[in-house]
Amino acid sequence: MKTSIGVFLVALAIGGGLAFSQGQDPKQDQRQEQKQEQKDKDAPKDDSAKRMELLESDLVSTRKRCEGLASELSETKVTLAKVVHYLDAQATSAAALQEALAASEAAGFTAGINPNSREILLAGWRATLNTQQRDVPAMPVTPLVEPLKKPGAKSDATDTPK
């Protein structure tokens, strides 16, 4: 009986040892290693591709924003030109009214009933007209910002990255 138990234990040990020593196929191990290496190589590419897509979308949104700001700037320049033109016209009109007041005064406007009130009225008008003619803004001769270049348009060598 002791021999049968001994033989049984030896057979069990040999069978278990063989069962556990049977590994995977060496070719299959190589395939798994290659797949892992490929994943490791692709992972940075995937990260860089995602990063590149993010940068491209950011560039597109920035370009759209710049184009919108350029459009807004051109509209603001047009409005500013209209305002400056209006203010210049007001200053010119004030100068013409001042001349008319001087001519009226020379023709005897202040003479007659209550001339002091007329002199006060003329002084008030002149003060208002002087204020309208002072510090009138002028449009700048040179443009404030150069227009944006369209992508794909030819430019000089300083703009192109090397």
What is the model's pLDDT at position 110?
80
Q: What pLDDT was estimated at residue 59?
A: 95
Confidence of residue 109 (pLDDT cuts 50, 70, 90): confident
Alpha-helix residue ranges (DSSP H) falling in 107-156: 115-133
Instruction: Write the pLDDT tens digit of every residue in 44-67.
Output: 667 888 999 999 999 999 999 999
Element (H, E) at 57: helix 26-106
Cα→Cα distances 15→7, 21, 22, 45, Å: 12, 10, 11, 47
Q: Count CB neighbours of 119 within 10 A.
A: 13
Model pLDDT for residues 70-87, shown as the tens digit of each residue: 999 998 998 898 888 888
How far, in Å, are 37, 44, 51, 58 from residue 47 at the CA level? 16, 5, 6, 16
**The pTM is what?**
0.47
Which residues neighbour 1 within 8 Å (Cβ) at sequence distance 6 or greater? none
Q: In this structure, what are the phi and psi dihedrals at residue 86, rounded to the nearest 5 degrees? A: -65, -45
